[in-house]
Amino acid sequence: MSAVTPIRPAAPVSKLSPAVRLVPDRTGHAPRPLRAVDEKAEVLAIIRSTVQASMEVLAGIRPVHQLARRLDPRCLSALQHRASLIRRELARSSSPSLARLHKNSVVRSVRLCEAAPGIYEASAVVVDDVRARAVAVRLEQSKELWRVTELVIG
């Protein structure tokens, strides 16, 4: 005897959001939502990774062009300018505390607020070898892509 999976009729097409995928239930024939994409969790993950990558750019261990898709051109330019100022100051002085600036940065916490539909504002606390700092971020959705429009690193 072999186990055979019964053929079930196709589920009727409904106008669900594209973020919900239907899978057949084990006990019945009715499809159930697998998992709706949690927008807030997605935004938190994007902000956390973007802030971490930005701190790595300032530390000189990540090239700034890796953030080109996530940051808008103005934020990218400002981050690149700040990173170049830090590199120039490091080359000019021999301060040991300046050499540890932005090294081993870790995002400790992120607080999120929805300003409007498709727009989130967040604050993050980043701790490195020298001190703790605050980072403010504004994230906007455009054409199914989340993009940072404001990035202020304290």
Helix H, strand E, coil C: the string for the chain is CCCCCCCCCCCCCCCCCCCCCEEECCCCCCEEECCCCCHHHHHHHHHHHHHHHHHHHHHCCCCHHHHCCCECHHHHHHHHHHHHHHHHHHHHCCCHHHHCCCCCCEEEEEEEEEEECCEEEEEEEEECCCCEEEEEEEEEEECCEEEEEEEEEC
Q: What's the pLDDT score for residue 31?
A: 58
Query: What's the mean pLDDT in 52-71?
Result: 93
Residue 150 has pLDDT above 90, yes or no: yes
Q: What's the pLDDT score for residue 38?
A: 86
Cβ(90)–Cβ(97) below 8 Å: no
Cβ(43)–Cβ(139) below 8 Å: yes
Q: Tell me the average pLDDT of the chain.
A: 82
pLDDT in tens, 14-45: 444 445 555 555 666 665 554 446 889 999 99
Residue 65 has pLDDT above 50, yes or no: yes
Residue 53 has pLDDT above 90, yes or no: yes
Give the pLDDT band (50/70/90) at residue 90.
confident
Partners of 74 in the beta sheet? none
Q: What's the pTM value of the predicted model, to 2 decimals? A: 0.73
Query: What's the mean pLDDT in 48-52?
Result: 95
